[in-house]
Every structure is written in C-alpha cells, then in structure tokens.
C-alpha cells in the first residue's frame, strides 16, 4: 500500500487500472487514524453523523457548523486518505450559498472534496463550484436530505423513468465538472452501466459490485446500528478480534471484489 496522499487524480487512476476504491464515513480523529492505517482510500465526513453520532432520525438537522467541526477533527489525524465532506441540508439552496459553504468546509474543515445531493437542479451549482477550484462529488439515487419529500429511505431507479433520470443526471454531473459520483440504493445493473459509461470514479452504497468503489457508514459495518441494519451493509466485526481488524477486512473485501455480495445487492 502506497503511503502517498490520495487525490482525486489518484482515484481516477485507480478506476482506469480497475483497482477498487475502499471508502468509509468518519467523524473523529481517533477513527481517522485507524482508517488511514487500515488502508481506506476515501474518508467521507457524512451528514449521516446526525443519525449515528447525534441521535437524530434524519440528516436534516445537521448544520454547516457541525460539518466543519467534524471535518476538522478528521483532517487533523488523517494523512493518506482523500477527505470528502458533505454539504448539509440547504447549504446548496443557491450556488452562492454552496460556494460560501464549500469555502468554510475547505478552509476550516480541511475538506479536499465537497459532496452534494441532487441531480439536474444542482448542475449550475456544480459548474460554479468547479469554476472556483472546488472539487465536487455528486450524489444520486437515494437522497437522504430529501427523505421527507420522498417518504422514507427507499431504493431508487427501479422503474424505467427514474432509471433514465438517474442515468441522464450522472452524465450531466460529469459534464458539469464533478470529479466523483456516489450512487446510493439503485439496482446493480443501472449502477454498473453508469460506472462503465462515466470516466469519473463511481462509488456505490447499496448499488452492487459493479461500481468503481464502495462506501459504508462506519457504524453500520461495525455492527453499531441499534436498529435493523441496512440490507446492503455487513457487520465486519463478526469473526474479527478488533475494530482495526474489522476495518482491514472491509478494505480487503472491497479490493478483492468480495463485498458487496449477492445478498447485499439490489436487482
């Protein structure tokens, strides 16, 4: 494993070479050190912290201050992995707000890439951010910040119209300048097709094994979810002697294309 810091260009090169990208969420310095040592390629300071760290039912209550704080905690300890940070609910309501929020996450939080949810309505924001030198990770499929509008955490893209919309938005996001794409809870065939079509890396969560990489919520893959775990996740603590061993097993599973398996994939 190379100890050189990972960049957006590194991930693009991994896609070209067919090397899988192992990603996990991270919210604090101690876990950042552990994930770095285990060989995680990308750490996502996700607004999922609102649910697993703060105890909320959704990600909506998470603020920009929260995101900047947790990003800074991770940034101080992380040395190798690429640091991606979520723009929280309504931070992208206008391109101007998104630029201001991204500035804070990069200057105060140490973010190297900012992630935003949404398709065509976000295209101008992606263009404006990239024009200002901000690397962007797009996020399509299930959009947790829109949970109240869509009526819950449901798989997306299972009918022809919604699959076409996701496919169209993925291409448009790349053309607008996005450097990465997260696909959440979409059928494996759709995700695989998009990963093959795009030149930018596609990271899946609940999107099957055909993506260029995988991401899970750290607490889910450690079996720390107090409720029913997501169907696409796996408890990597089972059979392991430590948290470090579990994270290493996850990284190995992604790299070897053993995770996700058929039971962890939507069709």
Question: Is 263 a known ligand-binding residue?
Answer: no
| Residue 164 assigned ligand-binding role | no
- The answer to the question of whether 212 is labelled as a binding residue is no
Is residue 164 flagged as an active site residue? no
CB-facing half-sphere around the CA of 257: CA atoms within 13 A: 7
Q: How far apart are CA 161 and CA 194, in angstroms?
A: 15
Query: What is the Cα–Cα distance from 232 to 183, expressed in whole angstroms?
Result: 13
Q: Which residues contact 92 (CB under 8 A, 6 or more apart)?
A: 98, 101, 116, 117, 118, 122, 125
State yes or no: 23 annotated in a binding site: no
- Is 48 within any annotated ligand binding site? yes
User: Mind giving me the DSSP string for 164-210?
Assistant: HHHHHHHHHHHHHT-SEEEEES--HHHHHHHHHH-SS-EEEESS-TT
Residue 26: which of 241, 212, 222, 181 has the closest Cα?
Answer: 222
Q: Quick one: how far is CA 249 from the chain centroid?
A: 19
Tally the C-alpha atoms within 13 A of residue 123's C-alpha that lie toward its C-beta: 12
Please state, as a whole number, how many other Cβ atoms lie within 10 Å of the Cβ of residue 189.
14
- Distance of alpha carbon 125 from alpha carbon 114, whole angstroms: 12
Contact 148, 191 (CB under 8 A): no
Location of structure tokens 């992604």: 254
The sign of the CA dihedral 96, 98, 104, 106 is: negative
Instruction: Give me the catalytic one of 131, 175, 184, 258.
Output: 184
- State the binding site for 3-methyl-2-oxobutanoate: 47-48, 86, 115
- State the binding site for Mg(2+): 47, 86, 117
- State the binding site: 47-48, 86, 115, 117
Residues that are catalytic: 184
């Amino acid at each position: 494993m190379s100890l050189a810091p990972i960049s957006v260009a590194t991930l693009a090169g991994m896609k070209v070479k067919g090397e899988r990208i192992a990603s996990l969420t991270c919210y604090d310095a101690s876990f950042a050190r552990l994930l770095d040592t285990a060989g995680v390629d990308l750490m996502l300071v996700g607004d999922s912290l609102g649910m697993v760290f703060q105890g909320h039912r959704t990600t909506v209550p998470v603020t920009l201050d929260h995101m900047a704080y947790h990003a800074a905690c991770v940034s101080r300890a992380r040395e190798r992995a690429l640091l991606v940070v979520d723009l929280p609910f309504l931070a992208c309501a206008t391109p101007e707000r998104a630029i201001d929020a991204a500035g804070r996450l990069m200057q105060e939080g140490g973010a190297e890439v900012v992630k935003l949810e949404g398709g065509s309505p976000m295209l101008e924001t992606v263009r404006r951010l990239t024009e200002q030198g901000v690397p962007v990770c797009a996020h399509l499929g299930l959009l947790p910040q829109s949970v109240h509008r869509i009526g819950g955490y449901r798989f997306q893209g299972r009918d022809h119209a919604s699959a076409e919309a996701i496919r169209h938005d993925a291409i448009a996001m790349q053309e607008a300048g996005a450097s990465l794409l997260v696909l959440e809870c979409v059928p494996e065939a759709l995700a695989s097709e998009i990963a093959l079509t795009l030149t930018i890396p596609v990271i899946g969560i609940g999107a099957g094994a055909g993506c260029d990489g995988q991401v899970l919520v750290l607490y889910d893959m450690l079996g720390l979810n107090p409720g029913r775990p997501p169907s696409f996740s796996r408890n990597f603590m089972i059979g392991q002697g430590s948290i470090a061993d579990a994270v290493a097993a996850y990284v190995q599973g992604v790299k070897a294309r053993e995770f996700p398996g058929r039971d962890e994939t939507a069709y």
